[in-house]
A and B are shown apart, each in its own frame.
Chain A
Amino acid sequence: AQSVTQLDSHVSVSEGTPVLLRCNYSSSYSPSLFWYVQHPNKGLQLLLKYTSAATLVKGINGFEAEFKKSETSFHLTKPSAHMSDAAEYFCVVSDSGNTGKLIFGQGTTLQVKP
């Protein structure tokens, strides 16, 4: 069965410093992987997705993630954090069977300090 593990439940950075949110996945086949962001009292927004094309995926708002099969990782990074980046981030893997059903990680809360 597919699963994702977000290694940090809470990450705190200073504005202008790099962001690293870690995610490891488990999959018996070549998965599709996603990062979603959820701002307080807002819906989920897709940041980026990997679907077996380029391993370095660029998303919105300056975020990017690198798919590393050897490490079964899909960490999310951003060179310089902005206050507006403070939110909950979910690493997500698609289920098997090509249904598009998504399996969510438990989420990482990103705090950005001024």
Chain B
Amino acid sequence: GAGVSQSPSNKVTEKGKDVELRCDPISGHTALYWYRQRLGQGLEFLIYFQGNSAPDKSGLPSDRFSAERTGESVSTLTIQRTQQEDSAVYLCASSFHGDSGNTIYFGEGSWLTVV
């Protein structure tokens, strides 16, 4: 498809387990973002990739969270030793370039529930 694709769309995991969330950005987009949205709240920035530059990890809430991106393609967000407060929708977005004027397109999110 032409949009940002995320998988899985839904994930239920037990507390303490690790989870991996995947994002396929729009082809040709050099900038990729991860956001988290807790129930009834706005989006929290997590991490930003731009081309081959070092990622901006300033939004990661703890060292249990990490993300990787291979070149200008797929990204994986990993949450280790999940906690109940990690339950949220994790949204991936991409844009043609990490410029404030470029439109950022969002995927439909990965809904994570930690039980």
Q: What residues of chain A have their CB less than 8 Å away from a CB belonging to chain B?
A: 31-32, 36, 42-46, 49, 51, 90, 94-95, 98-107
Quick check: is B91 within 8 A (CB to CB) of the other chain?
yes
Q: What residues of chain B have their CB less than 8 Å away from a CB belonging to chain A?
A: 31, 33, 35, 41-45, 48, 50, 56, 91, 93, 95, 97-109
Given A103-B45, A104-B42, A105-B42, verify A98-B100 contact (CB < 8 Å).
yes
Q: Nearest Cβ distance between residue B29 and chain A, in whole angstroms?
A: 11
Pairs A-B, 9 closest by C-beta atoms: A94-B100, A43-B108, A44-B106, A104-B42, A104-B43, A32-B100, A100-B98, A51-B101, A106-B42
User: In the complex, how many residue pairs between chain A and chain B have their CB atoms under 8 Å apart?
Assistant: 64
Interface residue SS majority, chain A = loop
Residues from chain A with a CB closer than 8 A to the CB of B35 are 102, 104
Minimum CB distance partner of B59 in chain A: A101
Asked whether, in the complex, the Cβ of A44 is within 8 Å of the Cβ of B91, the reply is yes
Residues from chain A with a CB closer than 8 A to the CB of B109 are 43
Given A43-B106, A43-B107, A43-B108, verify A100-B42 contact (CB < 8 Å).
no
Given A32-B101, A43-B109, A94-B100, verify A100-B43 contact (CB < 8 Å).
no
Minimum CB distance partner of B40 in chain A: A107
Asked whether, in the complex, the Cβ of B41 is within 8 Å of the Cβ of A106, the reply is yes
A-B residue pairs in contact (CB < 8 Å), sample of 26? A32-B100, A32-B101, A36-B106, A43-B91, A44-B91, A44-B106, A49-B103, A51-B100, A90-B43, A98-B98, A98-B99, A98-B100, A99-B48, A99-B56, A100-B48, A100-B98, A100-B99, A101-B33, A101-B48, A101-B98, A102-B35, A102-B43, A102-B45, A102-B104, A106-B42, A107-B42
Q: Nearest Cβ distance between residue B21 and chain A, in whole angstroms?
A: 15
The interface centre, meaning the residue of A32, A36, A44 with most chain B CB atoms within 10 A of its CB, is A44
